[in-house]
Amino acid sequence: MPAPDPLHDLGVRAGAEGGRIRVWSEHATSIDLEVFADGDLSWAVERMPLVRDEHGVWEAVSSSLVPGARYGLRVDGPAGSDHAFNPAHTLLDPYARGLSPAPDGSWRGVALDDLTASGFDWGGVAKPRIPLDRTVVYEAHVRGFSKLNPAIPERLRGTYAGLAHDASLDYLTSLGVTTVELLPVHAFVSEQRLVRQGRLNYWGYNTLAFFATHAPYASPAAQAEGPHAVRREFAGMVRRLHEAGLEVVLDVVYNHTAEEGREGPTYSFRGIDNAVYYRHDAHGRYVDTTGCGNTLDFGHETPRRLVLDSMRYFAEELQVDGFRLDLAATLGRDDHGRYTREHPLLQAMREDPVIGGTKLIAEPWDVGPDGWQTGNFPAGFSEWNDRYRDRVRDFWLDDLRRERETGRAGTGIGRFAGRLAGSANTFAIERGPLASLNFVTAHDGFTLADLTAYDRKHNLGNGEQNRDGTDHNHSYNHGTEGETDDAGTRAARRRSIRNLLGTLLLSAGVPMLTAGDEYGRSQRGNNNAYCHDSELTWLSWAHGERDANLLATTRRLLELRRDNPAIRPTRFGVFGETTPGASRMDWFSADGTTMTADGWHSPERRTLQYLAASTPEFEAANRILLVVHAHEDAAEVVLPSPDGVTGYTRLWDSAGDEPVEVGAVHAPGTRVVVPAQSMVLYRAHGDR
């Protein structure tokens, strides 16, 4: 028989007759449970000691730990540079599933029973389990997505229920995305610096509790009813999205907590066992690889277990479909602080039967030593591909600026083509193109529209004298900073947006679209709007503030991606071999001949024809031709004449504001004119 698990069932297991609490601390000398009056979270109506076992788990059983009970912990222990014990503080259980704020700024856990035991019914709705090659991620903020939508009742706007409303579901399904990735929904608080400035943390990357859903995102009625209703509304949102065929991925922040640096607030971990939960140097100072004041120490088993238990809870009990792991390089740092892809936490995620069955997406960097690890996560993870982001922006924006200013674009088309084809130079062949989570924009940084309208960040509204946010945006304002009435500039910007969007949605890999980019949302040049809970960051639903043609273009591109498996291979091909799931890729120059070495690297030759033919595994054979032309002048292109191709039908091009109608069939060898700075997609017909 396997050895008993010493860390089983941490937190509270509550029932109608009371419950059991289990808390881990290696260095504590005593832990007391406090249960508080429902109407006064300053008044403890019960206090009892927990008993320690040989594994550092402290335990007690109390008839007061019924669902809805408010509770906290008093923890004492030794002094020393690594420790921060103070029995005067009431601390939050790290495994608390519900929260209530106390008048003094501390927090109480709220005991909750299992979701289904509390009466929630999943109604037989199963997870969609969308294959990774068919996945299109839509990164959204729970509050910002529906806050302004007049089709949703006002009381539900900006809530979990608002995201689950028919108007939201109809929009998402008609757009064509498959997977909604939500910015953090673990309970969080604003940093002390922001509180002093009268600002707040809108994005949510400052986690207070890893098992509780963020209460302010629930409807007012659910908030008034209490934490059990907040959790029920969250689960109802997941169920409704699943009914619509949409997956739910959570952006999770396990790398640090809201306790900030050593002078920050003590909510939970610091007072329970600071020496183990956080990483320290030899002098007891925090080692900060996150830039947020503290770093959880994943060289130790207990913080690792905390992460796995949290992920399992959300994936199993609350039925979410995956996780985007913020600053995931921190999660792979060993007991010496070095990143390793063999780290036991990363391996355990893959091997866990629940977590390993979800989508795992790593942000593959942090701010510590050797913190940039793109391409170096284990199989089973997709990674945010910052190399893709920067190359695509450079190709369509920086190079355009350079050509206008100097007459030479500066780089050839080869590096761009590598990203288009799945970034094989970044991800190992056994991982394949689906290891690349492709993105051009994300919540942090310029929106897609702002990439084409601003050369510089405009973050004065953040209160940091424009010091925050990156200065390396790879953007191009097309000659005028910010808004303009010049028709030529506006048209050029729209064309660049279509090129960026077309590249993203026609590339091999898993695309991520940032909410609002599909219709041209702007943040007026703010590239770090983390502290703005306002119309600056909320999605607009007013027709006059949405580019209807761009929205139609996005829908058309998503439809084409879905219908053409050649665009979304599951594996890299191997020269001379037939690989099921891979796409055979042939590359041609503007004159229809096979691309030469000089053609790949010459900055003067920035016209490429990319012929991709799928190798059938689960879908019918398919072949597409993508023509990329990145010069300021139009070009004549000879459509290639490879074996088996008898004709080409135009499906989409980026030259015009409106999506094109399906055109006539062109024979191989036909000369066609490709407009300046544009892309054209054809379906190739013929025999295999």
Query: Which is nearest to 528 in space by CA: 97, 54, 203?
Result: 203
Fill in the DSSP letter of residue 380: T
Q: What is the DSSP string of 441-479?
A: --SSS--HHHHTT-SS---GGGTSTT-SS-S------TT
Specify the length of the chain in residues. 688
CB atoms within 10 A of CB 372: 13
Tokens of 651: 């499906």
Q: Which of 326, 450, 517, 533 is catalytic?
A: 326
Q: For residue 565, give the 3-state DSSP assignment.
A: helix
**How open is the CA angle 416-181-454, to the nearest 5 degrees?**
50
Tokens of 238: 């997941």
For residue 578, the Cα-to-chain-centroid distance in whole angstroms is: 34
Tokens of 332: 């792979």
**Would you call 326 a catalytic residue per the annotation?**
yes
Rounded to whole angstroms, the Cα distance separating 10 from 596 reads 62
Fill in the DSSP letter of residue 132: G
Q: Which of 321, 363, 383, 403 is catalytic?
A: 363
Rounded to whole angstroms, the Cα distance separating 487 from 467 reads 33
Tokens of 429: 């062949």
Fill in the DSSP letter of residue 313: I
Buried b (16+ CB within 10 A) or exposed e, 202-227: bbbbbbbbbbbbbbebbbeebbeebb
**What type of residue is 412?**
G
Q: For residue 688, give the 3-state DSSP assignment.
A: coil
Q: Which uninterrupted H or E stretch holds 51?
A: strand 51-52
Tokens of 281: 């140097």
Fill in the DSSP letter of residue 431: T
Tokens of 90: 């009431």
Q: Which residues are catalytic?
A: 326, 363
